Structure 1
Amino acid sequence: MQKNTSTLSRRKVTAGLAWSVPAVAAVSAAPAFAASPICPNVGEVGEVVKFPGNNPNDIKHAYGFWVTVKNDTQETVTLTPSTVTVTFDKKTRKPFTGTSSLYNDYPTKKGVVPLTEDQLTLAPGEELTIFYVINNTGNSADDSGCIEGTIGVELVGAPQTSGQMCDSVPVPKVCFEGTPPAE
C-alpha cells in the first residue's frame, strides 16, 4: 500500500494566498489606467486657402481652413492654438513649422483679429466653427502639400487631471492641390 504524501500544510496555503492577492489587485487596477483621455471632437475641415503676402495681423506665407470643434466632454474647456506643420510636395519635402492662430472669419478682412480666450471657451455640448491659420510657413509658391496640426485643450477653473482630459486634439490632416486664392 502506498502512502499519500501530498498533504496541504498551512504554510503551502498561506504562500499560495500571498502570491494570488497582488495579482488580483493589479488586474483590478489596470482598467482605470487603460482608459483613453476625454477630448473635444474635431470635425471635418474645409478647403485650404492661401495668404501669400503681407496681410492684416502680420499674416504672411500662410494657409488656412475652417474647422468645427464640439465639446463632447462634461467639462468647460478653452481651445488654444497649438502645433502645426506644412509639408510641400515639390519643395524639399521638409516640413515647415509655422505658428497657428484661431479666428472667427478670414483674417484678411478688415477688423478680424484672433479669437480671445473667452471666445474660445466651450461649455459641455457647445460647438464652435473657427478659421485655423498656419502662418510663416516659409513658402508662398503655388505648390501642393498637406497640413497637420493640433488644437490645445485646457480645463477651465480646474487643474488638468492626468489621464482624464486630453491636453490637445489632432486636426484632421488636410491636403491641397496647388492652393486656391484667399477670399
Structure 2
Amino acid sequence: MNTPSSISRRKVTTGIAWSVPAVAAVAAAPFAAASPVICPEVSGVGGAIKFPGNSKIKGIKQAYGFDVTLTNDTSETIVISGGSAYIEFTKFGNKSGAPLLYTADPCKGGVPIESGSDLLTLEPGEKLPLFFVVNDTGNSANDSGCIYATFNVSLVGGQPVDTDHCEVIVVPKVCFNDTPPQGC
C-alpha cells in the first residue's frame, strides 16, 4: 500500500540519477575557475607628469598623467574605456580623480579620446598607445605619491567578456617624487 509519505524504489533511483551529474558538475567547477584569464597586456608605462591648477590644456586641472600601451592578447575584438583612478599622496592621503584618455601627451599635441570612440576598439594582436590623465585630484601641491589606475574591457557592442577574459585591466602603479616633471 502506498501512502503519501512513502518513497518508491523508482523515486530513489530517479533521485540518484539526477544527483550524479550535479556532483560531477560541482567537482569540475574548481578546475574551470583555475583556468588562466586572458587580459590585454599593459606596457610602456611612463613616468608621471604633473598638470598644475593653471594648466594650459583645456579641461585639465590639478592632474597627473603618464604614457601607457595596451596590447590585445585575446582572440576577440575588445573595447577599452577609462576605468578608475586615484592618487595616494604621501602627505595628503588618497585623492580620486576623473580618468581621461588622450592619443598622446596633451602637451605634445595629444587629443582627448571620447568614450566609445573607434580608437578604443582593438583587434586581436593590436597595440594602442595612450596617455592616461587622472584629472581634478584637488591637489597639485609638491608631494610624492603613486597613481593607481584601471581600464575597463568589454566586447564589441558592449557585450560582457566571457569568463576566460578579464573585465578590468590594472595598470602597474606609477610613482613620482615631491615634484614630478611638470606638464605644459
Moved over 6 A (4+): none
Check if 1:181 corresponds to 2:182. yes
Q: CA deviation at 1:157?
A: 3.4
In structure 2, how many angstroms separate the alpha carbons of the residues matched to 1:28 and 1:138?
Answer: 49
Q: Which amino acid aligns with 1:90?
A: K
Counterpart of 2:165? 165
| TM norm structure 2 | 0.79
Check if 1:96 corresponds to 2:88. no
Name structure 1 gaps, 5 residues minimum. 1-10
Counterpart of 1:107? 106
Counterpart of 1:65? 66
In structure 2, how many angstroms separate the alpha carbons of the residues matched to 1:158 and 1:88?
Answer: 35
Counterpart of 1:40? 40
Equivalenced residue count is 167
> RMSD between aligned alpha carbons?
2.4
In structure 1, how many angstroms separate the alpha carbons of the residues matched to 2:161 and 2:182?
Answer: 42
| TM norm structure 1 | 0.80
In structure 2, how many angstroms separate the alpha carbons of the residues matched to 1:83 and 1:35?
Answer: 26
Please give the residue correspondences for 1:15-26 in structure 2 after superposition, counting only pairs within 5 Å.
18=16, 21=20, 22-26=22-26
Percentage identity across aligned positions? 43
Q: Which amino acid aligns with 2:157?
A: G
In structure 2, how many angstroms separate the alpha carbons of the residues matched to 1:57 and 1:40?
Answer: 30
Question: Which protein has the larger Cα radius of gyration, Structure 1 or Structure 2?
Answer: 1
SS at match of 1:30: helix
In structure 1, how many angstroms separate the alpha carbons of the residues matched to 2:167 and 2:151?
Answer: 9
Name structure 2 gaps, 5 residues minimum. 1-8
SS at match of 1:45: coil
Q: CA deviation at 1:44?
A: 4.2
Please give the residue correspondences for 1:102-141 in structure 2 after superposition, counting only pairs within 5 Å.
102-109=101-108, 112-116=110-114, 117-141=117-141
